[in-house]
Chain A
Amino acid sequence: MIKNFFLIAFRNIFKHKVFSFINIFGLAIGIAASLLIFQYVRFELSYDRFEANSDRIYRIQLDRYNQGKLSTQWAAGAAGIGPIVKDAFPEVESLARLRPTNGIVAYKNLEFREEKLFFANDNFLPMFSYSAIEGSIHGALADVNTAVLTATAAKKYFGNENPLDKIITVNKAASYKITAVVPDPPANTHLKFSILLSFASFVAQRGPEVNTTINWDGFFAYILLRPGTNPKLLEKKIAALVQTKWSDDMKKNGWNMVYHLQALPDIHLTSHYMHEAETNGDGKAVYFLLVIAMFIIGIAWINYINLATARSIHRAKETGIRKTLGSLRWQLIVQFLFESLLINTLAVILAFLLILVCLPAFNAVAGKSLSLALLATGGFWTNLAILFIFGTILSGFYPAFVLSSFKPISVLKGKLAATTHGALLRQSLVVIQFMASVLLMVGTFTVYRQLHFMQHQDLGVKTAQTLVVKGPRVLDSTYDNQLSNFRTEVLRIPGVSEVAASTQVPGEKVDWNAGGIRLVGADETESRQYRVIGIDYDFLDAYGLKLLAGRNFSHEMSTDTAAVLFNEAAIEQLGYRTPQEALDKRIEFWGKQYTIVGVVTNHHQESLREAYDAHIFRLIPDAEGYYSIKLSRNSDTWTNTIASVKQQYKAFFPNNPFDYFFLDDHIAEQYKADQQFGQTFSLFAGLAIFVSCLGLLGLASFVTSQRTKEIGIRKVMGAPVPSILVLLTRDFLRPILLAFLLATPITWYVLGKWLENYAFRIPLTPWLFLGPIALILVVALLTITTQTLGAATANPVKSLRTD
């Protein structure tokens, strides 16, 4: 029986090539796209789940409040909270503490700037299930001035040498003995490091208060809970502990801190706070993609159902004959399911080919690095099996049910041709397909408009033609002088117009988050948090920041070491409405007093997702973060200029690697994720619409062939070609227009929600909808016309004769 089913299914597939192609190709695209997306989503969801203890590890995250208002949310919270919690609660089995840092690491002649440097305590490696390649993970970071390297770092500094017991230096200021080498952190951990320095060294350098203070933020604390501990309960206990310890001070000074326990696997997709170890993933984008995957595969399944039921009249005769030959209904259902199985199998094979061919392109567009190794993962096959089984049954069952229901005598007498079996269902499914298409298309359009908006908005600072050189880390007492000489020499290089030193440049989060700042004489409860950027005398000019009131820092004013500039957002936070009001006011800043000598315009320090931040500019003429060098417009000369700058840098700051970037790239980097999301989104939206149109093509071809006789009669009666086109098109237009109508409010709502992620965003206007909808309409009409035009222009004599 199976052989018979197989044969007839196969011959049907071959006989109706167009339908089969549409079905198989559409399904293959759906399966391939879904598999790729599922794989990507699976990777995103796999973050930090590989650790043996991942379900018991929690990060202590800190929310700081001022006057009952949330001021800063820290991923890396107060220094002392870890030890305090560990000591107070026996359910905490172990505590890992990390302090991010960076610096120039050197071994012999090799020196590199390391950005992924952490001070870590000895519990970290065992808690996160690292094993040692060399040495032992236990006790490796117990002592002062010890360090652990990853395999890559070990190779970088030591080549084939055994790194154990060798000494590396950090910023030529401290030496560390290598006690262990561990494998590189996997790609799917949020906590990636290249070198770990013992936390004990940090305590030795900065004093024992690191272990107790709660006024110094920027320390990661991970706790391993004993099995069976309820994290919610512990969270409450920590809150109670905080209250008993500091409630008097909090009441007096109007501050508060609330600690949350973040489950380790949740961090990657949900945590976006101050001092994250790396920029975490976007949970919403991941789920958006998942929805798109569902859309595409759903649209392909709908195609199958639509085409199969539309063709039921062709298949009805066979059904009738089989019934008269003794087939039971379930046997027919099995037969049609078998056909669906065969089509799905062919689609899966084609999907494999598509994945093989398209994987590099997908990686390029989505900025991912999925490899063919994904074929070796169990999850891939589970997904495939689910898609295959679900698809076969879901798409096959309804047509099988309909086809097997025909009564043999009515079918064989040809009575069925007049029925409109499933027409309503088909139209409803077309409506759903096009609703999805509208959502995706308008979505794509909006994502791109928003991206374009963010990239072309005036940032409030001049960022073009700016070469940024990372400041030296290996310093000595002559640094002031060296910097001043470096500046003089660089300004002499042809094509360099300005040089400015600062602690930060635009395009990144400001690390210096200062609390406790208030007007002199104001109550301590009036304190607020500000982001502080240290700049030199030339920064304002170099970056084109405009003064709204007052003046820039000046060499002439010796008192300017006690002067600050505020931006608009900062004076607002201080309680002033106009820049003038704030001038010459004095503020308390960590035990010293500063005078506001100028107010500057707001600028976008970070991506336009973020609102304007309250910035204080402090005069730090020898700021060692970055040197911003403004270049001439003529980019041909830049290579030479950079070479000259490097020469000077090497001369004045030996033992420091010369690392640089262009500021525009740095700023664009912030939008990389958005851009990749946009590209991925549009790719799959395009595929979804393509598959929808494939289905429409099939339906149009079918309906047109059904109505050939009617068209012939109408033409004989004198109907012109256009009126026939209208006749044939009208039936398709109705569901599509209905889809537009239904999809618009849903899309409006969804996109409105999405845009809320951006502090600076484009308004939702009808124009965002009209363009994409018109485009879909045109594509749909063209699709239909390819089928109807032939029928409308055909010679009626022919079509009538064949009947």
Chain B
Amino acid sequence: MIDLKRISKWVNVGGKPNFILKDVNLEIKEGEFVSIMGPSGSGKSSLLNIIGMLDDSSEGEYFFLGQPVHSLREKQRSQLYKQYIGFVFQAYHLIDELTVYENIETPLIYQNIKSSERQAMVADILDRFQIVGKKDLFPTQLSGGQQQLVGIARALIGKPKLLLADEPTGNLNSRQGEEIMELFKQLNSEGVTIVQVTHSEKNAEYGSRIINLLDGRIDNFN
């Protein structure tokens, strides 16, 4: 599904390139649950952003479902992204001005799905996550765990093949964190490919594979 070939990413600091990622080769198959680990500044998030098409690599090739992402134009990339990828953030990143229902609905709007269909889809996922009673609340009225639940629901509403999560439990207490991880595991068993960035060994264990990053390089393979 994901095929990264010799991916490098650098930024220029004082005229010299400062490598964030260097020569990363990575293949992730459909149905995998991959955890990316590593110390701060090792390039975990950058790797995730490149996989998630939020950022470009400076060098290298990236094939997603056989499509050369590195040479696609913004519109095509966005099309690919909208169709197959969902994103979960550490800080949830819900839109404060929208209710739970509307937050979850938003990606569908950008996918040009009809209103009646949207309603059914959102109702479905609210039901599944057992947050129907919260649908008219605003994000600030929810606890962190509930907000992240909404964030995941939003990421999943478009039925993505790939779920990317950047420290999804970083702002949560351990009980909430476990619940989210259980949810991920269940999603993975239902066929969603998951790539998560995490600091926690425990959370990483939920995955089927762990990738360790150190100074922008992949340290070892499991």
Contact = CB atoms under 8 A, between A and B. Distances in A.
Contact of A328 (B54, B75, B106): B75
Contact of A7 (B75, B93, B102): B102
A323 B74 CA distance: 12
B78 A12 contact: no
B119 to A, nearest CB: 12
Contacts of A325: 87, 106-107, 110, 154
B62 interface: no
Contacts of A753: none
Contact of B54 (A8, A11, A15, A409): A409
A742 interface: no
B82 interface: yes
Interface string A75-113: 000000000000000000000000000000000000000
A425 B105 CA distance: 36
A327 B111 CA distance: 9
B81 interface: yes
A370 interface: no
A318 interface: yes
Contacts of B97: 7-8, 11-12, 15, 318
A408 B54 contact: yes
B94 interface: yes
A324 B93 contact: yes
Nearest to B157: A325
B109 A4 contact: yes
A676 interface: no
Interface in A299-339: 317-318, 320-328, 331
Given A8-B97, A11-B97, A409-B49, A324 B54 contact: yes
Contacts, number: 58
B30 interface: no
Contact of A321 (B49, B52, B94, B102): B94
B56 to A, nearest CB: 11
Chain B CB count within 10 A is highest, among A11, A325, A327, for A325
Given A4-B109, A409-B54, A322 B87 contact: no
Contacts of B75: 328
Interface string B154-165: 100010000000
Contacts of B81: 326
Interface in B62-110: 74-75, 78, 81-82, 87, 89, 91, 93-98, 102, 105-107, 109-110
B82 A412 contact: no
Interface string A4-23: 10011001100100000000
Most chain-A CB neighbours within 10 Å: which of B94, B105, B110, B158? B110
Contacts of B91: 412
A7 B87 contact: no
A327 B93 contact: no
A7 B107 CA distance: 15
A15 B110 CA distance: 25
A7 B95 contact: no
Interface string A37-60: 000000000000000000000000
B182 interface: no
Given A7-B102, A15-B97, A320-B93, A326 B49 contact: no
Nearest to B111: A326
B75, B87, B154 pick with most chain A CB within 10 angstroms: B87
A326 B107 contact: yes
A327 B158 CA distance: 13
A12 B102 CA distance: 15
Contact of A331 (B89, B98, B110): B110
B55 to A, nearest CB: 6
A774 interface: no
A326 B75 CA distance: 10
A391 B113 CA distance: 32
Contacts of B52: 324
A326 B154 CA distance: 12
B89 A326 contact: no
Given A4-B102, A7-B98, A409-B55, A317 B93 contact: yes
B93 A4 contact: no
Nearest to A325: B107
Contacts of B158: 326
A213 B54 CA distance: 90
Contacts of B93: 317, 320-321, 324, 412
A355 to B, nearest CB: 32
A608 B218 CA distance: 90
Contacts of B94: 321
Contacts of A328: 74-75, 78, 110
A167 B89 CA distance: 96
Contacts of B111: 326
A412 B90 CA distance: 10
B95 A318 contact: yes
A339 to B, nearest CB: 11
Q: Which of B74, B81, B97 has the most CB of A within 10 A?
A: B97
A308 to B, nearest CB: 15
Interface string A406-424: 0011001000000000000
B49 A1 contact: no
A412 B89 contact: yes
B29 to A, nearest CB: 24
Contact of B105 (A4, A12, A409): A4
A411 to B, nearest CB: 10
Contacts of B82: 326
Interface string A650-661: 000000000000
Nearest to A321: B93
A436 to B, nearest CB: 34
Given A408-B54, A409-B54, A8 B110 contact: no
A83 B55 CA distance: 86
A8 B106 CA distance: 11
A321 B110 contact: no
B164 to A, nearest CB: 10
B47 to A, nearest CB: 12
Given A328-B78, A412-B93, A322 B106 contact: yes
B106 to A, nearest CB: 5
A431 B95 CA distance: 35
B55 A322 contact: no
B58 to A, nearest CB: 15
Contacts of A8: 95, 97-98
Contacts of A408: 54
A21 B177 CA distance: 42
A327 B95 contact: no
15 contacts: A1-B110, A4-B98, A4-B102, A4-B106, A11-B98, A15-B97, A318-B96, A320-B93, A321-B94, A324-B54, A324-B87, A326-B107, A326-B111, A409-B49, A409-B55
Interface of A: 1, 4, 7-8, 11-12, 15, 317-318, 320-328, 331, 408-409, 412
Given A325-B110, A326-B78, A409-B49, 12 more contacts: A4-B106, A7-B97, A7-B98, A8-B95, A11-B97, A320-B93, A326-B81, A326-B107, A326-B111, A328-B74, A328-B75, A412-B89
8 tightest A-B CB contacts, nearest first: A326-B82, A326-B110, A11-B97, A325-B107, A321-B93, A1-B109, A8-B97, A327-B110
